[in-house]
Each structure stands twice: as structure tokens, then as C-alpha cells.
Amino acid sequence: SQTIHQWPATLVQPVGSPLSLECTVEGTSNPNLYWYRQAAGRGLQLLFYSVGIGQISSEVPQNLSASRPQDRQFILSSKKLLLSDSGFYLCAWSVRSSFTDTQYFGPGTRLTVL
Amino acid sequence: GNSVTQMEGPVTLSEEAFLTINCTYTATGYPSLFWYVQYPGEGLQLLLKATKADDKGSNKGFEATYRKETTSFHLEKGSVQVSDSAVYFCARVNQGGKLIFGQGTELSVKP
């Protein structure tokens, strides 16, 4: 069966510090991968998605970036965090062959920027 | 446009009450529709889905029917439990294959 992992689970970082969040998927090959952000009391915002190694599409302009160094690894980064980057970050995957298929979410990383 | 609209929460019910959370969508064509649930402090879990008009998705006592005439996908459960307390998200897939989420509806079930 497929599983998706995210770490760390929680993170507290000062403004201006760098960020690296990691997501890995097991049990499937060539997945579509996604990063979402959920701000407190709000819905989900798609940040990035990837259809393959090194292929990243950005949905919103921000000081975040994403990379996919391996087929089942998706990394969210920032060089300098802003207060507004606080939120709950969710990684998700879906079957590569169909964008209309279900997306499966990881447990999330709660980021607090102080 | 392409959007998903859910009824505003929080919704507070007593145990064993009937639940309806409304969801309507705008779309070109007939996109797949989903309900996800988020328990406190956790990620999203797929609750149910429907991939074509008139389909009914069901899971854990929850149901939703894909109604193209009213562009709706309302979530229902006949008898809620305290353990159903969570935030529920309606979503649809757009033509680019991305999930468009509603704003979420918080459900609180009291014993």
C-alpha cells in the first residue's frame, strides 16, 4: 500500500531563517506531487505541483520554492521566512496517469514563524 | 469561473442528529467531486468521491450525490457521532487536474 510521510511534524522558526520541509511517498512510482498551505481558519491553497523529477509548476508568487530531486521526494524551501509563511503545510500525491484521480495527503507540517 | 462553495460553519449538532453540509460548484463539464475530512491537528483524508453525474459516494455512513442539475454535492449523514467532529472540505478537479477546495466547514458534535 502507498504511504506518504512529511517531516518535521512541527517547526518554529525565526523570521529571516531558511526552511526545508520534506515529503516522501512509498509504494508507488511516478506520482504527481503537490504542496498545499493551509493558513489558520482558512482553506487550502495549492503552492506547487510536480509531474516528474525536476519538473515544478508554481501556482502563486511567493518566497517559497520547491524541488523534486528524486521520483518520490518533494521538498519545499525558503531562503528567508516571513511571518506570513506560518501555516499548516500539506504534501499530497496522485496517480501520474490521471490528474482527475484522487489526491492523498500526508500528515502535514505545522510551521510557526516568529 | 471555477469554484467550490460550502456552507459556512461552524455547525454544531447533538449526537445522533442528521447532518447536511451543502456544497455547490461551478465548472465546465462534469468534474470529479470529492469530500475530504480533516480531524484536529491532522492532514486531510479522503472521505468519499463521485466521478460522474448521478453517482453517489459513500463511506462511514456519509453520503453525497453528484447532482448536475443543481451543480451540487451535498454531504449527509443520518446520525452523527462525537467522533465525526472535524473540518469537512468539498473539492473538485479542474481541467488542469488541480483540486479546487471549498473553504471548509467545521462540524462539532456534542454528546
Helix (H, G, I), strand (E, B) or coil at B52: coil
Read off the pLDDT of residues A65-100 as tens digits, 9 standing for 90 and up. Answer: 999 999 999 999 999 999 999 999 999 999 876 656
Cis peptide before B40 (omega within 30 of 0): no
Helix-strand-coil split of chain B, %, nearest 5: 5, 50, 45
- pLDDT at position B93 is 84
A42 close to B (CB below 8 A) = yes
Read off the pLDDT of residues B2-53 as tens digits, 9 standing for 90 and up. Answer: 689 998 889 999 999 999 999 999 987 888 899 999 998 888 999 999 988 9
How many Cβ atoms sit within 10 Å of the Cβ of residue B12?
12
CA end-to-end distance (rounded Å), chain A = 38
Rg (CA), chain A: 13
CB B72 within 8 A of CB B50: no
**Of A24, A30, A35, nearest to A77 (Cα)?**
A35
Quote the minimal CA–CA distance from B107 to chain A in Å: 13
**Of A11, A4, A89, nearest to A45 (Cα)?**
A89
* Chain B residues 48-87 with a CB less than 8 Å from chain A: 49, 51
Q: Compute the average pLDDT of residues A53-71.
A: 90
Read off the pLDDT of residues B74-109 as tens digits, 9 standing for 90 and up. Answer: 999 999 999 999 999 999 987 667 788 999 999 999
B46 close to A (CB below 8 A) = yes
CA distance B18 to B84: 12
- pLDDT at position A98 is 60
**To probe the interface with B, which of A57, A99, A110, A112 has the most B CB atoms within 10 Å?**
A99
Query: Nine-digit cell at A74?
Result: 518533494
Cβ-Cβ contacts under 8 Å, B7 against chain A: none
- pLDDT above 70 (res B1): no
B39 close to A (CB below 8 A) = no
